Amino acid sequence: MKFQPLSNHVFIEAIKEDKATKSGIVLPDTAEKEKPVLGLVVAVGPGKASEKGDAVPMSVKVGDKVLFKKYGPDEIEVDGKKYLVGEESDILAIIE
């Protein structure tokens, strides 16, 4: 299914983080799961309208690797695949 977000919404595919700590300790699957904060942008809306009615262009684009607020985006499922959907303001940084 193809989809196009509206306004300043962004669809993000979460990137799973390593199951090992920096010191090499492997975390089991039963360890408490935190919400992801790293992801790949898969779809962006056209941008939010300004007070004059003009579209304000988005800062992110499809393919950007981003850092986002832990509890900002909502989780949804489309065709059996999970995505995080939030507003551009939920994104904290683009990782290069």
Phi/psi of residue 88, nearest 5 degrees: -55, -30
pTM for the whole thing?
0.77
Q: Residue 71 has what pLDDT?
A: 86
Q: Which ranges of the chain have pLDDT less than 50? A: 31
Which tens digit of pLDDT belongs to each residue from 63-88? 999 999 888 899 999 889 999 999 99
Q: Measuring CA to CA, which residue among 59, 33, 54, 34 is closest to residue 44?
A: 59
CATH architecture group of domain 9-15+28-95: Roll (2.30)
The domain segmentation of the chain, as residue ranges, is: 9-15+28-95
